[in-house]
Amino acid sequence: MRLTARAALVAAASIPLAAITPALASATAAGDVTFAYTVNGSTVTNTITNNSHSTLFCGTGLGLAPGGVLPPVEDILRAGQTLYTNGEVAPGSVTQTVTDVPDGSYVALASCSRNDAGTTTMWVSDYPGIADYLAGMPATTAYTVQQASTVVTVPNVAPPAGGLPDLGQIFAS
């Protein structure tokens, strides 16, 4: 893939997921940030734990995962995420919530970043092939977060408890 196309794909994914914000300088490590995804009805929540000792800018987004399968990273980066939330995350734990998600299967993605004197540090959901894109970003230290991108299925209506009634039994009575 040409360098220009690669840079455009990374930029498209990074804008909603990891806008850069100034922060205090401190040492970083891969385990400084963790993500944990949950689904409740039409809401997807990401609990972000920030142990970096700095305020980060984080984003949680959803990309389509047809058939409940992780699409190639190029597809996710090219299409971007239209369902997302982002904001500052101080040290500690905070949740980011994407609401009113239509029924379907999605890949949950997250990233956090900070900028220290022109050097960017990023923590990004692990995703097959993402390391190749992150390696092409100059002046960036990028870590893949142990909690990989996860396929989540969002039902807007929960099925009835115990499943559907046996219509044969109803009509036999």
pLDDT tens-digit profile of 76-130?
888 777 899 999 999 999 999 999 999 999 999 999 999 877 788 999 999 999 9
- Cα gap 124→35, rounded to integer Å: 9
Q: Is residue 141 a contact partner of residue 152, using CB atoms and an 8 Å limit?
A: no
The domains of the chain, with CATH numbers, are 3-172 (2.60.40)
- CA neighbor of 100 nearest in space, from 85, 113, 112, 115: 85
Torsional sign, CA 92, 146, 133, 12? negative
Q: What tokens does 129 get?
A: 């092939």
pLDDT digits (tens, 9 = 90+) for 4-30: 334 333 444 444 444 333 333 456 888
Q: Would you give the end-to-end CA distance of the chain in angstroms?
A: 66
The reply to whether the predicted model has a pTM over 0.75 is no
